[in-house]
Structure 1
Amino acid sequence: MADDSFPARPAIAASQLIQLRRLFTALLPANPFYTKKISQAGVPAAVASLREFSEKFPFTTKQEIDQDQRTHPPYGTNLTFPLDRYTRFHQTSGTTGAPLRWLDTPESWSWMVESWTEVFRAAGATASDRVFLAFSFGPFIGFWLAFEAAQRIGCLCIPGGGLSSAARLRVMIDNGATILCCTPTYALRLAEVAAEEKIDLRAAHVKTIIVAGEPGGSIPALRTRLQELWHGARVFDHHGMTETGPVTHECPRQSGMLHLIEPAYFAEVVEPASGKPAAFGQIGELVLTTLGRVGSP
């Protein structure tokens, strides 16, 4: 298991403030979307403290990004650099509306990949692991980040795009995959197909199943069922978004508890109705500022 210690709160806050100031130096006036937004809000362009940033700087909503991309198709104006600096395209699933399109520079992409390595390290992954990624070759950002993060820590990466579920199972077994990355329901589906095809999952070497995309990974009943079907493999939850990159990973010591990747984000929990900070222990809405995705924050 990787070292799961955490830095002290003052050290985290100091690092976040330094990164936030660097971000604003890059954004203003290069990024049209945020230059206009900050100017209209009448807030200072310099960041004096995290508290001032939290109190004075306006939120950015999905609706704003969507409208910006509709007004300035196809990518909108949330671009800090000229278009030829961007080398990565991804988009959201469009579950609640038109898909949002997101571009990344090599630097912004590398920052997100590094955050994803934290997911693997927290799950105990090492260079000796073989990672099977049961996703298609599409614009879904999670597959690409996970694939390259596993490569970065030295794992053998086995792509599962373009294969049937039965074929994926055989590839996993033949290549000795030790980590499976997929959605919770697809891990269930693979187990169902294994039973249908008379494939004994005990022949697989999967010790860890990293899941995302659905809430099932933190639901005790589903976790237990997956662990039974996969003969003791640990289910390890995390979540992320196209707009932010990887956000959380499961606590190595407490199943079902998610830790925010705080070196990469400034996080606030607010009351949805008022936008004011939620009281300690109060359920609220998570607001994230990406500190290193400079190309399209």
Structure 2
Amino acid sequence: MSTPETTFWQPATETMSRDRLAAWQWVKLRKALEHARTNSKFWATRIPDGLESLADFQERVPLLYKKDLVAAEAVDPPFGILPSTDPVAGVRFHQTSGTSGHTPLRTFDTARDWAWGVDMWCAALHAAGVRPGQKGCVAFGYGLFMGFWGMQDALSRMGCTIVPTGSMDSVTRVRLIVDQGIEVLGSTPTYAMRLLETAAELGIDLATESKLRIIVTGAEPRSAATTRTLTEGFGARVFDFAGMTELGTVFMFECPSRPGACHIIEPGVVEEVLDPETGRPAGYGERGVRVMTGLGREGIQVFRYWTDDVVVKRPWHDCPCGRTWDFYDGGILGRSDDMRKIRGISVTPVLVEDVVRGFDAVAEFQTVLRTDGGLDKMVLRIEPRPGADQAALAAGVRDAVKRLIGLQPEVRLAAPGELPRFEAKAARFHDERDR
């Protein structure tokens, strides 16, 4: 029988009233602001005196952008004037991936920072059904990108067995998943798709030949079509998680009680949703951009950070799980800085992926925006699976994009293995138009 003690990682914080949660957040935020204002040269000039409430904080503290953090670090690399704690106390060093074209942001965590961040991961993994004694594999490169490092340590803290695969290729990973009886897998959605493709090439059906039951994906938006493919291919429940190097950990996880409901871990983060045009708060059910404030880090702190993540927030009681944390419906829907106008039509990478992934015969794809004769055009390069009717596939993809997005792309076929595969964040969307 399910009880709060078995359902929730920390029942007291996951089921507290909204009034008590808001009070909890303000106590933690007030301490974090005082620490930052006293010890960080950067924050000393941005945090005003006399903040009296969370609403006062949101009204008077200016928004923070990636360029602000990069500029602050450039004063005296690697961390510049950002730290609120002497970097010598750091036990971890990480940096952002830089895939969005920005200069990578470098960051460090103290022992207390890392313990807090891992606990946030534990809450998320426990919600997904991870329990002591399970075998876990985190399929990532074990490099400077923070990515799934927190998941790795959280699985260990929860009493799971970790099977490391950092130096392995996809073939070796697939065989290890089967041979070792891996039950929990973490990776980007793109790389999970690559593992399915590799398994098919090896003649392995992971849905029937493996013990996988929980797939945790993150680091990039995931389309509905990709979710269906992963769920069927692995024969496992696929959960959407999201974190940020700027925060130092995961901030949301998909709830098993309502697919697509990604609860915000609100004891550790304050999340605003703002209209990107007016800057005013967006209400429940309204699309806007996430603005994030971290509550648990002492080394490098972030307040009111404009993330560019597009979300729709809904109230906690719309999910039947019993948590009192609000959630993002569908998780991260895309990024405001990823949206492109093509002949007056707004297009995002996830929108294209959702259409293309609806065709099982597509092994991989790439979107390129170009200028031809003064006009914008979309070129879709698709790599068919072996045995596919290539002409029919190209026509089907072209017609589907035209019908569902409103643009007729030029579809070009790629040879098997020609298009790049990705282990971390995918880079399938390229804007090469004349500026």
Cα separation, 1, equivalents of 2:42 and 2:213: 45
Residue 183 of structure 2 corresponds to residue 174 of structure 1: no
Q: Rg bigger for which structure?
A: 2
CA distance in 2: counterparts of 1:228 and 1:82, whole angstroms: 48
Q: Which residue in the other structure is 2:213 paired with?
A: 207
| Native 8 Å contact 2:46 2:61 kept in 1 | no
Which residue, out of 131, 136, 148, partners 1:131? 136
Contact 1:19 1:291 in 2 (8 A): yes
The size of the alignment, in residue pairs, is 289
Which of 138, 146, 155 lines up with 2:151 in the alignment? 146
1:160 maps to which of 143, 162, 165: 165
Match for residue 225 of structure 2 among 213, 221, 224? 221
- Partner deviation per Cα, 1:241-267 (whole Å, 9 max, x = no partner): 110121110022111121111110111
**Could you tell me which residue of structure 2 aligns to residue 28 of structure 1?**
37
Structure 1 equivalent of residue 75 of structure 2:
71
CA distance in 1, matches of 2:281, 2:203: 54
Asked whether 1:89 is paired with 2:93, we answer yes
**Residue 22 and residue 215 in structure 1: after superposition, are their counterparts in 2 closer, same or farther (change >3 A)?**
same
More helix by share: 1
- Structure 1 residue 47 displacement after superposition: 3.4
| Aligned partner letter, 1:206 | L
Give 2:240's aligned residue.
237
Larger relative contact order (CA 8 Å, sep ≥ 6): 1
Task: Find the residue that maps to 1:259 and give its secondary structure.
Answer: strand
Per-residue deviation, residues 23-54 of structure 1 (Å, max 9, x unmatched): 1232222111111222xxxx21x431111111
Q: What is the identity, as a one-letter code, of the residue corresponding to 2:250? A: P
The alignment partner of 1:73 has SS state of coil
Corresponding residue number in structure 2 for 1:14: 23
Q: Is this contact kept in 2: 1:119–1:248, CA < 8 A?
A: yes
> 2:57 aligned with 1:53, yes or no?
yes
Q: CA deviation at 1:193?
A: 0.8
- Are the counterparts in 2 of residues 20 and 47 from structure 1 also a CA contact under 8 Å? no
Please list every run of 5 or more consecutive structure 1 residues that lacks an aligned counterpart in the other structure.
none
Are 1:183 and 2:188 counterparts? Answer: yes
Identity %: 37
- What stretches of structure 2 of length at least 5 have no aligned partner? 9-13, 302-435
Q: Which moved more, 1:266-275 or 1:123-132?
A: 266-275
* 1:6, distance to aligned residue in structure 2 (A): 3.3
Q: Give the CA RMSD over aligned residues.
A: 1.5
TM-score (norm 1): 0.93
* Distance in 2 between residues matched to 1:55 and 1:21, nearest whole Å: 15
CA distance in structure 2 between the aligned counterparts of 1:94 and 1:220, rounded to whole angstroms: 26
What letter corresponds to residue 130 of structure 2 in structure 1?
A: A
How far 1:100 sits from its partner (Å)? 0.7
- Partners of 1:3 and 1:137 in 2: CA distance: 31
Cα distance in 1 for partners of 2:33, 2:73 equals 22
| Shift, 1:132, TM fit | 0.6
Aligned to 2:46, what secondary structure does the other structure show? helix
**Equivalent residues in 2 for 1:33-48 (5 A)?**
33-38=42-47, 43-44=48-49, 46-48=50-52
Tell me the residue number matched to 1:269.
Answer: 273
CA contact (8 A) 2:87 2:299 kept: no
- 2: distance between equivalents of 1:181 and 1:280? 30
Secondary structure of 2:270's aligned partner: strand
TM-score relative to the length of structure 2: 0.64
Shift of 1:74: 1.6
